[in-house]
């Protein structure tokens, strides 16, 4: 009974209490510091290594627009907490913030709910064509643009190029090659803390990103182009079995991968404790910093697949949106246009490591020199696979997180879990059809 109470508190009451305290703190802050008509509030999550660049960008915007001011309000980096905060605030038509960063998977949901301001007037088709098409598609609802891709992401495979060279390997393009290389190197190095392959297996959105890539690499999909659930197809079952096997059969991934997120795995790889790492492009900047134990020893490629299939990375990234209930929409749109400009995207790419959503920046010489893999990354990004694009993605993701976690933890057989997930998701998609 006590265990159930603790689980209930950690899963439901503590996040709710966090949001309540955050809201109360903001109300108190607003009472003590009134926001003038010339000040816009920019809400964003805590982005690693970006504090100074955000301040520099805001200073530049205020210099270009005398009399205007931007105030930052920073949320935790946990995307689930961010999502909860925005849903709670926007459902009550809050005007406490004007511009905010949203995950690419939230745009359809927030658009359907009527929480985002239409920004089509700022970015006509001729400008939209300068961006990668996948996030633009995700930011479009009923023919109107409701958010602007700020930076784009896609899963990549980092590898220790010094270790691969030592054992005569070229970077793996198939899952079989990845397993064989990881096993050979770990055995050969005989290093206590060296793992073969790290990935994000915690029960959160990162797990869906990983699973989406592995499923794609086996030739499967969660939803097909017509919106049908395909979780019970053979490629999906094979993909989940392979991911399980990395821990229990091949032993190239540690058991703690089931509780790992991006930062856990990044730090472990950074400290020289892994041969391969599935993560996001932002890690590159950390690996190449002065004093990094793996500086100059890291390579990066796209995600592998089974033989005969094309590896595809999960599309990620963050979008700039304007709160539809803002009382300063004109100023908010001006700030969105500024932050999404080529100049600002390049500066963040160079100093923070975010990857621009504007395609022509991948030809920038300075960026190419600083990040040599940027040309290869372009090819990865242009064919990145989105997670299911639907206003009900949040509910679908919750179902998948539970069922995928149960599979990987050896709690439920794969066929049972995928049947359960299929039934639940089909019910949700029927509700979606009813809203059209």
What is the crossing angle of helices 393-408 and 414-435, to 10°?
Answer: 180
The DSSP bridge partners found for residue 154 are 315
Per DSSP, 11 falls in state I
- Dihedral of the alpha carbons of 46, 47, 51, 52, in degrees to the nearest 10: -170
> What's the pLDDT score for residue 6?
39
Does the domain made of 30-153+316-382 have the CATH classification 3.40.190.10?
Answer: yes
Q: Mind listing the pLDDT tens digit of every residue in the chain (436 residues)?
A: 444 443 434 454 445 545 554 554 454 444 334 456 889 999 999 887 889 999 999 999 999 999 999 999 999 888 888 999 999 999 999 999 999 999 999 999 999 999 999 999 989 999 999 999 989 989 999 899 999 999 999 999 999 999 999 999 999 999 999 999 999 999 999 998 999 999 999 999 999 999 999 999 999 999 998 889 999 999 999 999 999 999 999 999 999 999 999 999 999 999 999 999 999 988 988 999 999 999 999 999 999 999 999 999 999 999 999 999 999 999 999 999 999 999 999 999 999 989 999 999 999 999 999 888 888 899 899 989 889 988 999 999 999 999 999 999 999 999 999 999 999 999 999 876 666 5
CATH number (3.40.190.10, 3.90.180.10, 3.40.630.30, 3.40.1160.10) of 156-312+392-435 reads: 3.40.190.10
Residue 408 structure tokens: 């990987």
The β-bridge relationship of strands 99-103 and 39-45 is: parallel
Gap between the Cα atoms of 97 and 84, Å rounded: 15
Gap between the Cα atoms of 35 and 370, Å rounded: 40
Q: How far apart are the first and last CA of the chain?
A: 44
> What's the pLDDT score for residue 64?
97
Residues forming CATH 3.40.190.10 domain(s) in the chain:
30-153+316-382, 156-312+392-435
> CB neighbours of 179 closer than 8 A, spacing ≥ 6?
196, 246, 250, 252
> What's the pLDDT score for residue 48?
76
Q: Please tell me the number of Cα atoms within 13 Å of 434 on its side-chain side.
A: 7
**Three-state secondary structure call for residue 194:** coil
Per DSSP, 387 falls in state P
- Global pTM? 0.83
Gap between the Cα atoms of 111 and 142, Å rounded: 9
DSSP 116-145: B---TTTS-HHHHTTB-HHHHHHTEETTEE
> What's the pLDDT score for residue 12?
47
Degrees to nearest 5, angle at CA 226 with 223 and 230:
30
The β-bridge relationship of strands 69-75 and 39-45 is: parallel
Q: What Rg do the C-alpha atoms of the chain give, in angstroms?
A: 22
């Amino acid at each position: 009974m006590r265990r159930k109470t603790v689980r209930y508190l950690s899963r439901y009451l503590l996040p709710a209490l966090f949001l309540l305290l955050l809201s109360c703190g903001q109300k108190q802050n607003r009472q003590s510091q009134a926001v003038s008509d010339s000040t816009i509030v920019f809400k964003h999550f805590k982005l690693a290594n970006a504090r100074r660049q955000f301040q520099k960008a805001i200073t530049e915007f205020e210099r270009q627009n005398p009399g205007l001011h931007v105030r930052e309000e920073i949320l935790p980096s946990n995307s689930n907490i961010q999502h909860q905060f925005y849903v709670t605030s926007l459902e009550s038509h809050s005007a406490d913030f004007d511009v905010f960063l949203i995950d690419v998977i939230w745009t359809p949901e927030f658009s359907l709910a009527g929480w985002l301001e239409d920004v089509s007037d700022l970015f006509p088709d001729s400008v939209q064509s300068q961006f990668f098409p996948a996030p633009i598609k995700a930011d479009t609802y009923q023919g109107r643009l409701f958010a602007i891709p700020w930076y784009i992401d896609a899963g990549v495979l980092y590898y220790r190029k010094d270790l691969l060279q030592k054992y005569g390997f070229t970077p793996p393009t198939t899952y079989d090659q990845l397993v064989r290389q990881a096993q050979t190197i770990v055995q050969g190095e005989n290093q206590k803390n060296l793992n073969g392959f790290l990935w994000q297996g915690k029960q959160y959105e990162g797990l869906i990103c990983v699973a989406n890539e592995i499923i794609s690499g086996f030739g499967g999909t969660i939803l097909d182009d017509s919106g049908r659930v395909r979780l019970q197809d053979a490629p999906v079952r094979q993909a989940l079995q392979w991911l399980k096997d990395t821990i229990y059969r091949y032993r190239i991934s540690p058991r703690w991968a089931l509780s790992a997120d991006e930062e856990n795995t990044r730090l472990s790889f950074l400290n020289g404790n892994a041969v391969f790492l599935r993560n996001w492009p932002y890690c590159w900047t950390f690996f190449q910093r002065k004093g990094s134990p793996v500086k100059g020893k890291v390579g990066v490629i796209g995600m592998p697949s089974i033989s005969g299939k094309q590896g595809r990375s999960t599309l990620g990234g963050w979008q700039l949106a304007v709160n539809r209930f803002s009382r300063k929409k004109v100023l908010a749109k001006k700030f969105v246009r500024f932050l999404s400009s080529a100049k600002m995207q390049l500066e963040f790419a160079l100093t923070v490591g975010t990857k621009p959503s504007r395609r022509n920046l991948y030809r920038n010489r300075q960026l190419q020199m600083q990040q040599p893999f940027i040309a290869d990354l372009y090819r990865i990004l242009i064919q990145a696979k989105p997670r299911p694009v639907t206003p009900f993605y949040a509910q679908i993701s919750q179902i998948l997180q539970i069922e995928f976690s149960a599979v990987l933890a050896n709690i439920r057989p794969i066929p049972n879990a995928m049947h359960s997930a299929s039934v639940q998701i089909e019910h949700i998609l029927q509700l979606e059809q009813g809203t059209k």
